[in-house]
């Protein structure tokens, strides 16, 4: 199973990504963690990252893509599955990532979209800010982050939809319910993803599932 | 377990400047990733988002102020006014600052003008240096408290510059020039 996560801040991407990876026994490729590890271990890619940082630059997308590509190669050796978290953040990255996946025959089977209302995300992010004593993570700042996320991510979600690999779940519910819904959907899809070509698939929207079973 | 990477305050601010110039804001999570550090590490180094924004905005302002100081052609009161005028003219091309003021007005005003804040205190200190550079006030008023004078001057200039930036109009100091001159020449 090859899954990439698309989710706003506060939707539980890290938690669900780790759960999916553990359930399917595939690597959890978190781009932020990988970047830091490469730099800390002074790998060839880590040195390239450090050179950019030493010049006062931010890590460019192509270096992050190189890091993801390296992780894909390792994942392929381990059986070919992965959960990707932290990329893509915009349409340019999404297309570049697709090319990397195609070159390795490792494109995602599922783009898992964790959907949640802004009000709930704001509540969660404000709670996290309070826990971490981040007084300046105010509602206005969070609203702006979410607005930017919606602007940039909407085209990505639409694109995965047209490719037939989009699975949307309701991330408003408690973490264990969301996890159960994700794992059930992915398990149901597992035997099919290798057999049905992308163009013959249809996106799956599970956001109404809770209501259908009488949950609020 | 993820290895921990350290980063200097200077490197974090430098990264913040790059990010701000591109996005007219700072998303701490995204900046942390782009600097290959964790969110917690970045916060530990910069203190808070607003402190980081303050340092970033000060560095950008100081860059423009330094250019204005280098381009000065007069001394005395005219020299002080000339530097402020050149600085204001340079703000026309400050698209990042304009975008930030347009989208995060309250945060921007707090970061830019809060007494005791990073930006305000450094602008006041720079203004005092400008007074000394140009020899203003002239001899008869030399006993004046330069710290207070700089603080008053900056407040008056800021008032008009920020109003014009927020209003999206051409940024200049015309409305307060006479008042600024009067402040610098008053006995």
Query: Could you tell me the CATH superfamily of domain A2-30+79-208?
Result: P-loop containing nucleotide triphosphate hydrolases (3.40.50.300)
Distance CA A56, CA A50 (A): 10
Indicate if B26 and B83 belong to the same structural domain: no
C-alpha A158/C-alpha A163 separation (Å) is 9
Query: How many angstroms away from the CA of A60 is the closest CA of chain B?
Result: 8
Cα→Cα distances B111→B121, B124, B182, B186, Å: 11, 15, 29, 31
CB atoms within 10 A of CB B95: 10
The interaxial angle of helices B118-134 and B146-167, nearest 10 deg, is: 120
**Cα–Cα dist B187/B184, whole Å:** 9
Q: Are residues B86 and B34 part of one domain? A: no
Share of chain B above pLDDT 90, in %: 60
* Domain containing residue B36: CATH number: 1.10.10
Q: Are B85 and B146 in a shared domain?
A: yes
Q: Is A17 on the interface with B (CB under 8 A)?
A: no
Range of the domain at B32: 1-47
Q: How far apart are CA B163 and CA B169, in angstroms?
A: 9
Q: Please give the ipTM for the structure prediction.
A: 0.77
B12 and B91 in a single domain? The answer is no
By CB neighbour count within 10 A (0-12 exposed, 13-18 middle, 19+ buried), where does A207 fall? middle
**Are both B80 and B161 inside the same structural domain?**
yes
Q: Where are the domains of chain A?
A: 2-30+79-208
Select from A41, A136, A151 the residue whose CB has the most chain B CBs within 10 Å, as the one to mutate to test that interface.
A136
pLDDT at A214 over 70: no
B36 and B59 belong to one structural domain: no
B36 touches A at CB < 8 Å? yes
Predicted structure pTM score: 0.82
Q: Say yes or no: B1 and B57 in one domain.
A: no
Chain B residue numbers touching A53 (CB-CB < 8 A):
7, 11, 15, 35-36
Residue B87 confidence (pLDDT): 94
Mean per-residue pLDDT, B166-170 = 76
User: Does residue B24 share a domain with residue B53?
Assistant: no
Alpha carbon distance B71, B66 (integer Å):
9
Query: Per-residue pLDDT tens for A56-85?
Result: 888 998 999 999 999 999 999 999 999 999
Residues B56 and B22 in one domain: no
A91 touching chain B per CB within 8 A: no
Structure confidence by residue, pLDDT tens digits, B31-87: 999 999 998 899 999 999 999 999 999 999 999 999 999 999 999 999 999 999 999
B107 plus B172 within the same structural domain: yes
| Cα–Cα–Cα angle for B55, A152, A182, rounded to 5 degrees | 115
Whole-number Å distance between alpha carbons of B132 and B138: 10
Whether A35 and B33 lie within 8 Å, measured CB to CB: yes
Phi, psi of B173 (to 5 degrees): -110, 15
Residues B10-29: pLDDT tens digits? Answer: 999 999 999 999 999 999 98
Among A127, A116, A97, CA closest to A31: A97
CB contact under 8 A, B49 and A137: yes
Sequence-distant (6+) residues with CB within 8 A of A77 are: none
**How many domains, in total, are found in chain B?**
2
Burial of A14 (0-12, 13-18, 19+ CB in 10 A): middle
Query: How many beta carbons lie within 10 A of that of residue A39, not counting itself?
Result: 22
Residue of B nearest to A138 (CA): B107
* B145 alpha-carbon distance from chain centroid: 22
Asked if B37's CB is within 8 angstroms of A57's CB, the reply is no
Alpha-carbon gap: B52 to the closest alpha carbon of chain A (Å):
11
Q: Is the peptide bond before A192 cis (omega within 30 degrees of 0)?
A: no
B35 and B83 belong to one structural domain: no
How far is C-alpha B160 from the chain's CA centre?
Answer: 14
B41 with B77, same domain: the answer is no
For residue B154, give both structure tokens.
């900056």
């Amino acid at each position: 199973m090859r899954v990439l996560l698309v989710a706003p801040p506060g939707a539980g991407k890290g938690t669900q990504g780790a759960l999916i990876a553990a359930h399917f026994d595939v690597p959890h490729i978190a781009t932020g963690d990988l970047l830091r590890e490469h730099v800390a271990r002074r790998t060839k890619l880590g040195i390239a990252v450090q050179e950019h940082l030493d010049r006062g630059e931010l890590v460019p997308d192509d270096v992050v893509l190189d890091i993801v590509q390296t992780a894909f190669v390792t994942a392929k050796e381990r059986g070919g599955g992965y959960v990707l978290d932290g990329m893509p953040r915009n349409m340019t990255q999404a297309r570049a990532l697709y090319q990397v996946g195609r070159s390795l025959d490792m494109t995602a089977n599922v783009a898992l979209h964790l959907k949640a209302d802004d009000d709930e995300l704001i509540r969660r992010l404000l709670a996290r800010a309070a826990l971490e004593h981040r007084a300046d993570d105010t509602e206005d700042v969070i609203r702006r982050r979410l607005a930017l996320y919606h602007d940039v991510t909407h085209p990505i979600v639409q694109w995965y939809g047209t490719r037939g690999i989009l699975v949307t779940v309701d991330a408003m519910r408690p973490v264990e319910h969301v996890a159960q819904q994700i794992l059930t959907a992915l398990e149901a899809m597992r035997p099919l993803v290798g057999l049905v070509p992308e163009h013959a698939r249809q996106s799956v929207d599970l956001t109404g599932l809770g209501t259908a079973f009488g949950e609020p | 377990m993820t290895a921990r990477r350290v980063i200097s305050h200077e490197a974090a601010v430098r990264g913040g400047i790059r990010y701000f110039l591109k996005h007219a804001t700072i998303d701490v999570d995204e900046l942390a990733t782009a600097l290959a550090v964790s969110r917690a590490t970045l916060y530990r180094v910069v203190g808070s988002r607003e402190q980081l924004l303050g340092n970033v905005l000060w560095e950008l302002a100081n860059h423009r102020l330094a250019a204005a100081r280098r381009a000065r052609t007069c001394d005395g009161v005219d020299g002080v006014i000339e530097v402020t005028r050149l600085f204001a003219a340079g703000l026309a091309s400050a698209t990042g600052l304009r975008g930030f003021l347009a989208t995060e007005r309250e945060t921007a005003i707090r970061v830019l003008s809060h007494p005791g804040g990073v930006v305000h205190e450094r602008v006041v200190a720079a203004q005092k240096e400008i007074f000394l550079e140009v020899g203003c006030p002239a001899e008869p008023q030399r006993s004046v408290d330069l710290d207070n004078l700089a603080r008053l001057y900056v407040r008056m200039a800021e008032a008009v510059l920020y109003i014009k930036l927020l209003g999206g109009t051409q940024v200049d100091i015309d409305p307060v020039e006479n008042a600024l001159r009067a402040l610098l020449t008053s006995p």
